[in-house]
Amino acid sequence: MKLSEVMKERMALSFEVFPPKTDKGMENLPGTLAHLCEFKPDYISCTYGAGGTNVGKNMEVCKMIQAEGTVPVTHFTCIGNTREGIKEQLQDYLDNGVDHMLALRGDLPFGWTGTGGDFGYATDLVKFVREEFGDRFEIAVAGSPEGHIACRSLDADISYLKQKQDNGADYIMTQLCWDMEQFKRWLDAIRTAGVTMPVDVGIMPILDQAATINMALSRNACVMDRELCEIISRNWIFPNPFDKEPFDAAVEEKKASFKEAGIEYTIRQIDKYRALGVNGIHLYALNKWKDVTEILNRSGIKTMV
């Protein structure tokens, strides 16, 4: 059964991992995946570097996911990719049994003003994959509840999401969103616009101050709600959480306190999304199975089976 069909029947659970940059990280990843798969996820997605910089490792990770008995979903971007290059890469995925993908424009590498490839937008990539491969791939696409930072308006962003659906996309993986009221408005708006695809909600565990702020502001312009800002402020590491050698004498205590409060915040966010009846919860595992296990066990979303 397709993942999009699973999501229409029940709420799905899935994780996102990334290809480690070091050999040690790659050696440890199978163990991480094994622990994550104790929760019987419906799929695990794997990120894909700009211009295919880690495409070899991406394929290796997808094979690890298969070996653990679940569905790998590869991210795939427009960055630096030509039509022929895309055909070759996607055929290679199919030849290796990977037939699920997240079609993305991709974040532009530093200094780039365009994708440097044949396609400028994910809408074009979705259309091309459908024309070249028919139904051989199940295609997920990104959704931005607050609007993509590069898009001129939220209305325009929603219209492009509808275009992705019209071009053959199967379901939506959302960008992280901490503003629950905005998420509700967006969900109503996309349904009004005729977007019927299942919505799989991306959730980043709140574990580290610097990583949280970086994720919100470096690429995505995400609103950090009052509750999250209070957690950051109460545990602020002086002079700032990005300093490699902070002068704050309580740095370790604050890191631990922030992490505990962040885990509780993440659990409450999961509760809110579940209460809305979303089609899936997609946890950015950050290649950290212990933290994800704690979140899942304490949230009651799914116990080990």
Q: What is the DSSP letter of 197?
A: S
Q: Say which of 5, 9, 16, 230 is annotated catalytic.
A: 16
Q: Are 263 and 295 in contact (CB under 8 A)?
A: yes
Helix, strand, coil share of the chain (percent; to 5): 50, 15, 40
3-state SS, residue 195: coil
Q: Are 137 and 103 in contact (CB under 8 A)?
A: no
Interatomic CA distance for residues 72 and 42, integer angstroms: 9
Interatomic CA distance for residues 46 and 58, integer angstroms: 7
Among the listed residues 79, 164, 157, the one whose alpha carbon sits nearest the alpha carbon of residue 129 = 164
Interatomic CA distance for residues 225 and 136, integer angstroms: 41
132 catalytic residue (yes or no): no
Residue 246 phi, psi (nearest 5): -65, 150
Q: Are 54 and 48 in contact (CB under 8 A)?
A: yes
Mind telling me the catalytic residues? 16
